Amino acid sequence: MARIHPTAMVDPRAELADDVEIGPYVVIDGEVRLGCGCVVGPFCRLEGPTVIAEGNRFTSHCSIGAPPQDLSYKGEPTRLEIGPGNWFREFVTVHRGTTKGGGVTRIGGYGLFMAGAHVAHDCQVGNHVIFANGGTLAGHVEVGDYATIGAFSAVHQFCRVGPYAFLGGFTVATKDCLPFMRTVGSRPARCFGPNTIGLERKGFAPERREALKKAWRILHNPKLTTTEAVAKIAAELGDQPDVALLLEFIRSSQRGVILARG
């Protein structure tokens, strides 16, 4: 049976796994489902419809599943889905979706969301991500697996952050952030090439890292347009899976991508 502190308020519509722990002054409001091994710390508020998989930890004062901060939202039945094994630190906020964005905000598994991080409505966040303190997503943002959002960085609505991307602290991204690359700064943010150390730590072999470096150099050849550079990269390095992912990310961008020149 779930362990619920006597000061907590749990809606009868909530579904709690038998080993869930609910701390002091927690409020669980509406259709909230908590999987096995979840721990909800003091003063957290969870609102539904929200589904939270096993092994999630909410340290304290988190607001999870609140309605979207969107003036067009009129109380439609939207929801939040959170995968397994995440750790949400103090004052993290995550909002449900809107009908304009498919109605669902999704967070994958095994991420770390440090104090004050914010995930807005309709965001789609991958697995193994890291949000440093105050890292913020506007609505409809996509974040790939293993991406890092630096402290007090902000990502504009409808932008994408590619897999393994690294955003430095205080970055303001108003275009898509390339996968595998370091993006730092604001107005404009600039891309500083492959996150070599980070990729090495993630187990990328030297040949994989070198292929990304070569693609980066071609992409910034001053004699080539971006379209020409993409074609040249595809011809010379397109058989490399990481490079192919990078090229597809560039081709599919709706807002443009952040390069060294901004």
Residues designated as active site: 121-122, 139
| Distance (Å) of CA 54 to CA 16, 78, 146, 228, 229 | 10, 21, 20, 47, 44
**H-helix or E-strand spanning residue 111:** none
- Measure the CA–CA gap between 148 and 164, rounded to whole angstroms: 7
- Measure the CA–CA gap between 88 and 59, rounded to whole angstroms: 6
- 3-state class (DSSP) for residue 145: coil
- Measure the CA–CA gap between 215 and 234, rounded to whole angstroms: 9
241 class by beta-carbon count within 10 Å (0-12 exposed, 13-18 middle, 19+ buried): exposed
Question: Any residues with CB less than 8 A from the CB of 67 and at least 6 apart, and which?
Answer: 47, 73, 75, 95, 96
